[in-house]
Structure 1
């Protein structure tokens, strides 16, 4: 509708409103886009650090010596001569089996020996007499030979009687069941009045030496191959101590105070599991480690002179199950895939993906995305001294699945 068709008063109003709108439009200025806000994040700078590398593996405690106390004669248990669960010494009396039948056998064997010794004296005198008579041709050669043979038979009878007496004494000694080793004895598996048998070798108790113990550690062939390759390529070097050390982690996570020594690595592979067996020896003066106990063992691998460590919380798990970290480059964060190894005092050893000097985000992930501008702030670890590197020269967690850098 044309403005000229409106009444004069309305025309004036329309013109005034139009003028006001134009003036307002002329006064507006285009909004300027401000600079992108930088998100503060906590970061660490990755630097090569000489680090002792350990691997954490399952292990099972075994006694250094274990003696099963079994019956070696038949009889009735008369006495139990020890306190169950106590420490015993080698040669200490543990059980007494009724000795009466074996005393009788011993006395019978002794009597047979005396009888044989009496017979041999008579046979020797007879043979000596015939030796003189044969020279005078007073007896035949056959009679002389018979006398000599009887003397020999008498000597054999004496030897058999001595052996029978010795056997009777041994069996009588077996009625006193003694400990063959020093150690701790468990529960008694028989009671007074129980019949024990030598034929079935009735088990009566068990004595275990516990002042030192073994820990048997299974390890896969693949893990050993990775370790050898890392040693060959110089990624890891042997520790200055020489002997490989091992540390036990108890059920509450505390580290057992006495370090152990690796004795050997298995020379054959179990075809059922594809693993070899390692054995470490530990001092156990307080008998904290008990046979049959399952433990975690930190096994020394070697020294990585150029280890790159990042705090545990810096490692992010991607949707495809891989590991990554956020790295600050030119003021922006970028995700970088990494291959991690063992965990060392709250930090992961990174084999691949990072370079010395890389700045890695540790905290503040909720506010950032790939390509976001950030304001790096040095990360302060709780309880850490200023300037300290993450991680340390000792400690470990489960062995890595990734292949070491090389």
Structure 2
């Protein structure tokens, strides 16, 4: 190369190297954080306030409406059994017939004693009448007249005693026929003809149970009752209360009993050992489907307060201390976390009393891709009865909806 061209070549080489350095620096320059990234999308539902019926379910045992254990009230030998086991009987029906000969004889003797005492009264009254006439003419002394009057009163007292003895013998004779004190279903007998029974013995002859209507005895805890009262201050388990709920039975096989029931009474004392109390409910039982001793579950709904909210269970989380929280999208589309107060559950929802307001947008979809303070794009979605979001977000959103 000629000498006069060497400076020019050097300048061109420097320019070329500078250009290459600029391109290399430009290609390795770090990108600005956030440039080229999309705003995450979340699925929300708008909170609404509505009257809520607070559900509850309690275990229970079926018990007869009335139970009569049949025992004899007098001694005797059983001569006849006047019923068929397992049948329906009415109040006053004869069940057992005891040998009543001695009771009939005692009654006959009592009748005779009454007649004798009545004759004595008549005689004493006639004597008194004669002496009163004689006393007017002073033919007898005052002592004789007083004696006649006393004899009348004694005779009348003896007549009263005789009548009382007659009543006792009539009762004993009547008790020789053992009758049912209530209507219901009679069970198995424990004696046969010829057995000797005694008055008020410990062993029962048979048992009669009235089963239409029928009772279901429920057990509830004091803690559960307090939660119900917090959600509905006027809730009551008293049968005469206007807010007493209608009751439904789930049977042991999972089916629902066709009849509804009502509360009958509730204990006013909580057990010191179990912190539970008993609630008695009453159900119609025309087909005798419910039998004493059966285990059932009774559910009902108590009318709740008007200032309660429903939040999907999938939107509620709990921190290490057990405090319920939820994520919301505020007016600036920024994610914020709030503490909320939950009560019982209703289907796939929590019943919430504090920490929520009407119009709040609670996040139920896209929770895995966001954090508190992030700016998001909120999309209204729907949630079905199974707690599943029907409208899924794009792949760059949450992606946890099914």
CA–CA distance in structure 1, aligned partners of residues 299 and 284 of structure 2: 16
| CA–CA distance in structure 2, aligned partners of residues 207 and 246 of structure 1 | 29
Give yes or no for the alignment of 1:247 onto 2:250: no
For 2:211, the equivalent position in structure 1 comes to 210
1:347 equivalent to 2:374? Answer no
* CA shift in 2, pair 1:212/1:200, >3 Å: same
- Hey, which of these two has a bigger chunk of strand by percent? 1
Give yes or no for the alignment of 1:56 onto 2:43: no
> SS where residue 168 of structure 1 aligns?
helix
Residue 282 (structure 2) aligns with: 281
Instruction: Return 5+ residue gaps in structure 2 as ranges.
Output: 1-19, 236-240, 391-402
Output one character per residue of 1:47-86: Cα deviation in whole Å (capped at 9) or x when no partner: 3333222333344444443333332222233333223333
Aligned partners of 1:295, 1:345: CA distance in 2, in Å? Answer: 21
Aligned mates of 1:35, 1:189 — CA distance in 2: 91
Q: TM-score, normalised by structure 2?
A: 0.68
Report how far residue 173 of structure 1 moved.
1.0
Q: Note closer, same or farther for the CA distance 1:271–1:210 as it changes in structure 2 (3 Å cut).
A: same
Matched with 2:305 is: 304
Counterpart position of 1:160:
161
Residues in 2 aligned to 1:36 and 1:349: alpha-carbon distance in whole angstroms:
38
Q: Is the 8 A contact 2:48 2:358 kept in 1?
A: yes
Cα separation, 1, equivalents of 2:336 and 2:214: 50
Are the structure 2 counterparts of residues 253 and 163 from structure 1 closer, same or farther at C-alpha, using a change threshold of 3 Å?
same
Deviation of 1:169 after TM superposition, in Å, equals 0.8
For residues 252-263 of structure 1, the aligned pairs below 5 Å read 252-263=253-264
**Structure 1 match to 2:113:** 112
In the alignment, is the contact (CA less than 8 A) between 2:313 and 2:348 conserved in 1? yes
Asked if 2 retains the 8 angstrom alpha-carbon contact of 1:248 and 1:255, the reply is yes
Q: How far did residue 42 of structure 1 move? A: 7.0
1:229 and 1:72 map into 2 onto residues whose CA distance is: 53
> Does the aligned pair in 2 maintain the 1:325–1:338 contact within 8 Å?
yes
Of residues 199-208 and 77-86 in structure 1, the stretch that sits farther from structure 2 once superposed is 199-208
Which stretch shifts more, 76-85 or 39-48? 39-48
Q: Would the alpha carbon gap of residues 261 and 375 (structure 1) be closer, same or farther in structure 2, given more than 3 Å must change?
A: same
Match of 1:378 in 2: 381
Aligned partners of 2:71 and 2:201 also within 8 Å: no
Aligned residues: 357
CA contact (8 A) 2:342 2:350 kept: yes
Unaligned runs of 5+ in 1: 1-21, 236-240, 388-406
**How far apart in 1 are the matches of 2:192 and 2:144?**
62
Report the Cα offset of residue 158 of structure 1.
1.9
Instruction: Give the 3 Å change call, closer, same or farther, for CA 353–294 of structure 1 in structure 2.
Output: farther
Which string of whole-angstrom CA distances, capped at 9 and with x for unpartnered residues, describes residues 305-339 of structure 1?
Answer: 34322344555566655555565778898876544
When residues 226 and 120 of structure 1 are mapped into structure 2, their CA distance, relative to the original with a 3 A threshold, is same
Question: Distance between the aligned counterparts of 1:299 and 1:362, measured in 2?
Answer: 29
Q: Kindly state the Cα deviation for residue 160 of structure 1 after the two structures are TM-superposed.
A: 1.4
Corresponding residue number in structure 2 for 1:77: 78
SS in 2 for 1:71: coil
